[in-house]
Chains A and B, each alone.
Chain A
Amino acid sequence: MKRPIRWFTFAAPSRFYWLAGLLNPWLWLIAAGLALAGLYVGFFVAPTDATQGESYRIIFIHVPAAWMSMVLYLAMAFWAAIGWMFNARMASMLARAIAPTGAMFTFLALWTGAFWGKPTWGTWWVWDARLTSELILLFLYLGYIALVASIDDVVRGDKAGALLAIVGAVNVPIIYFSVRWWNTLHQGATISMTAAPKMAHTMLIAMMLMTFAFWAYAFATVFTRAQALALERERDTDWVRDLALARKER
Chain B
Amino acid sequence: MGAAFSAVYVRDLRLALRRRVEALLPVVFFIVAVSLFPLGVGPEPQTLRQIAAGVVWVSALLASMLSVTSLYAGDHADGSLEQMILSGQSGFVVASAKAAAHWTVTGAPLVLAAPLIGLLLDMSNAALGTLVASLLLGTPILSLLGGMGAALTLGLRSAGVLLILLILPLAVPALIFGAGAVSAVDSGVSTAGHFSLLGALLILTALTAPLATSFALSIALE
Residues of A within 8 A of B (CB): 136, 139-140, 142-143, 146-147, 150-151, 155-156, 159-160, 163-164, 167-168, 170-171, 174-175, 178-179, 181-182, 185-186
Contact = CB atoms under 8 A, between A and B. Distances in A.
Contacts of B158: 150
A150 B180 contact: no
Contact of A179 (B156, B166, B172, B183): B172
A101 B173 CA distance: 26
A156 B220 contact: yes
A167 B170 contact: yes
Given A160-B219, A185-B183, A147 B166 contact: yes
A175 B162 contact: no
Given A163-B219, A167-B212, A178-B176, 7 more contacts: A139-B168, A142-B165, A147-B152, A163-B212, A168-B169, A178-B173, A178-B177
Given A147-B152, A178-B176, A156 B219 contact: yes
B215 interface: yes
Contacts of B170: 167-168, 171, 175
A147 B208 CA distance: 21
A147 B165 CA distance: 9
B157 interface: yes
Contact of B169 (A143, A151, A159, A185): A143
A164 B183 CA distance: 32
Interface string B18-31: 00000000000000
Contacts of B172: 136, 175, 178-179
Contacts of B152: 147, 160, 163-164
Given A136-B169, A146-B162, A147-B152, A160 B176 contact: no
B156 A167 contact: no
Given A160-B152, A182-B180, A150 B216 contact: no
B169 A174 contact: no
Contacts of B173: 171, 174-175, 178
Mostly helix, strand, loop or mixed at chain B's interface? helix
A176 B168 CA distance: 15
Contacts of B156: 150-151
B176 A143 contact: no
Among A160, A179, A181, find the residue whose CB has the most chain B CB atoms closer than 10 A. A160
Nearest to A174: B173
Given A136-B172, A163-B152, A178-B173, A143 B165 contact: yes
- 10 closest cross-chain pairs (CB), A and B: A178-B173, A182-B176, A139-B169, A159-B219, A143-B166, A178-B176, A136-B169, A143-B165, A140-B169, A150-B156
B183 A163 contact: no
Interface in B167-217: 168-170, 172-173, 176-177, 180, 183-184, 197, 201, 208, 212, 215-216
Nearest to A161: B152
A196 B172 CA distance: 29
A163 B162 contact: no
Contacts of B153: 147, 150
A150 B219 contact: no
B218 to A, nearest CB: 9
A60 B169 CA distance: 29
A155 B219 CA distance: 9
A241 B15 CA distance: 54
A174 B219 CA distance: 26
Contacts of A160: 152, 216, 219-220
